[in-house]
Each structure stands twice: as structure tokens, then as C-alpha cells.
Amino acid sequence: MAKIKAKGVSYAKWGYIFIAPFFIVFSIFTLYPVLMTFYYSFFERFMIGLNQHGPYYVGLDNYVAVLTGADGSFFSSNLWQYFLNTLIMWLLGFVPQIAASLLLAAWFTDLRLNLKMQGFFKTVIYLPNIIMAAAFSMLMFQLFDTIGPVNATLLRMDVVEEPVRFLSSTMGARGIIGLMNFIMWFGNTTILLMAAMMGIDPALFEAAEIDGASPRDIFWKITMPLINPILVYVMITSMIGGLQMFDIPQILTNTSGGPNNTTMTLIMHLNQHLFSRNFGMAGAFSALLFIGMSALSLLVFKTVANNAASGGPGH
């Protein structure tokens, strides 16, 4: 009997044991909180001073409150304003970021250019990412203050007659936030795209050159299609990161999301709900955000990945 039993031992259980820690940690620190977020979103529960109000079951009331505005209509909800703010500020950073990263990655991987001191440049362009966003925001806040160095320089060069109140204008505030996102993330994207470009078979480039293709043709017709999967990855991660934008505008605008809430991102608004630990509204807001982001990611993935599958010469 014992022998038969020994024969029946499945080594698969070791596999389960080894992957168990991840699932345990995941279920406690991710799955459970996510489920509780959905659960709380059906309750009215917040603090009034030191006292807790609720929880009272309110069904979908919190969702209705998030999705309707002051006049009770769907489109007047602040959600759209905050979503638009977030999207605009993300694009302001992402568009120059992807352009600069593509250019830099192409230069760095170009065998003919054979740039010297690559390690130094890669380190330098990656450095802004290491700075804490909070510290970076404080720095920019000081730089662009009405009595800060940027205004002092502009005044001295007679570009402007009066100090520019950058953070009081929608364009100025959003522009600075976009600029910061660009500076912080283009190094990271460059490294990713370089990895993708270095994975391309050099024979393809050589063959194209022999056929008389210009560098521009090589970039657009060989490099771009072949790095498409990584581009999709960069786009989706950046979009999810962008929709979660919080620390930079929060600190730059001193939590106000000003002027006139035009730099108030979705997560900044979510954070406002946590002021009174309003888990009901925050939960409903998060749940909607979760659904929205999933749908958006899926959409981007489907469209861009399908193009890659059908249009890429490598497939």
C-alpha cells in the first residue's frame, strides 16, 4: 500500500506551495481591499469630527451622487471635468515624452552614429525619475513663483513687463505639470524603447540600407512597426499612470487643484473624499474609476495590438 501511495505523489503540490506566498499576499493586500472598496461603496459612512456617521446601507446612491452634477444631470458631474483635466495633463506630458524618447532611443541604438558616453547620457536622462515627485513639485513651485528665478530672468531679459503668475492660469499650471511629467518619465521610456530597438535584427537595417532606404524610411518602415508591441506597453502603462496622476498637481497647487479646479485630477478628488474618511463616496468613485480604466486599457490594447498583428512585417 505504501508503495502505491508513494507512486501517486504529485510534485505539482510543490508548485502550489511555491506560488502560494504571492496569492496570499495578493489576496490580503490587493484582493481584499478591492472587494471592500466595492462593498463600502454601497454605504453612507464618514466622520463628523471625531464621531463616525453610519455605516448605513444606501444602495446605489453614492454612484448616483458621483455621476450627477449640481443640476442633477449626468453631464454636469464634476467627474468629467476632473477626467478631462487628467487626460489633458497626461497628454501634455506624454506626447513630447514619446517623441523625445523615440528620437533618443533611435540615436542611441544607431550603429552608424555610435554615440560616445552613452552610459553617462542614459544616467542623466533617467535621473529626474529618481527625484521624489513631491520634492520636484516644490522645486518647480519655487522656480515659477511670481518672485522666483524664472520670472526674475524673464523680467531682466525684458520678455515680460510684470511677473507672470504661471500657477494662476490654467495653461500655465497644466503646462508646468505636463512639463514635469515629461521630464520625469522620458528617460524611463527611452530605456524601454532602446531595449525594443536593440532587439531588432541588424540584418534588416543592413538590407534596407543596401536597398537604398533613407534613415527616415528605415525609422518609419522598419523600426516603428517592429517596436509596436513595446509601444503599446508604454502607452498603456503611461495611460494608467497618467490617470492616477496625483502627487505632482497636489503639491504644485497646494492641494487646491487650482485655478478653478482645472488641475484637479481624478485621484486628487478621490483624496478629498478621504478627508472625512468618506469611504462610501470614495468607494463608489474608485469603483467607477476601476471600470473606466479597465475599459480604456482594453480599448487601447485591442486597437493598437490588432494593428500590430496585421500591419507589422514581422508577423
Partner 1 sequence: MNSKFWKRSLAFMAILFAALILVACGDSDDTPADDNGDDNGDEVIDAPETGDDEIVLNFAHWNDQVVQRFEEVVVLPDNVTINWIWAPNDDNVYQQELIRMLPAGELDLFVAEVDYIAQFTESDLVADVRDLGLTDADLSYMFQYTLDVATGPDGALRGVSWEANPGLFIYRRSIAYDVFGTDDPDVIQGYVQDWATFEASAAVLYEQGVRMVAGYADTYRTFSNNVTEPWVNEDNEIIIDPHMMSWVDQTYRFIDQGFAGVGVGLWSGEWSQGVNPGDTTPVFGYFHAPWGISFVMRDQSLDVQLADGGEEEVGNGTFGDWAAVPGPEGFFWGGTWIMAYSGSPHQELIADIMRQMTVDQDNLRTLSENFGDFVNNSAVVEDVANDPDFGSAFLGGQNHIALLADAVETIDMSHVGAFDQAITSAFQGAWGDYFEGIVTREEALDNFFETVTTFHPHLRRP
| Spatial separation of the C-alpha atoms in residues 81 and 266, rounded to whole Å | 9
Q: Looking at beta carbons only, is 73 or 123 nearer to partner 1? A: 73
The nearest distance, CB 253 to partner 1, in angstroms, is: 10
In single-letter form, the type of residue at position 281 comes to M
The nearest distance, CB 79 to partner 1, in angstroms, is: 12
Q: Looking at beta carbons only, is 17 or 111 nearer to partner 1? A: 17
Report CA dihedral (50, 29, 251, 67) to the nearest 10 degrees: -80
Is the Cα dihedral 106, 109, 110, 115 positive or negative?
positive
Q: Looking at beta carbons only, is 147 or 210 nearer to partner 1? A: 147
The nearest distance, CB 107 to partner 1, in angstroms, is: 40
Contact predicate 229/300, CB 8 Å = no
The nearest distance, CB 55 to partner 1, in angstroms, is: 4
- Calculate Rg over the CA atoms of the chain: 25
Q: Looking at beta carbons only, is 148 or 225 nearer to partner 1? A: 148
34 CB neighbour count, 10 Å cutoff? 14
The nearest distance, CB 114 to partner 1, in angstroms, is: 47
| 118 closest CA partner among 185, 205, 191, 203 | 191
Q: Looking at beta carbons only, is 155 or 305 nearer to partner 1? A: 155
Residues that bind partner 1 (CB under 8 A): 6, 9, 13, 17, 20, 24, 28-29, 32, 40, 43, 45-55, 70, 78, 142, 145-148, 165, 168, 170, 254-256, 258-261, 269, 272-273, 275-279, 281
Maximum CA extent, the chain: 96
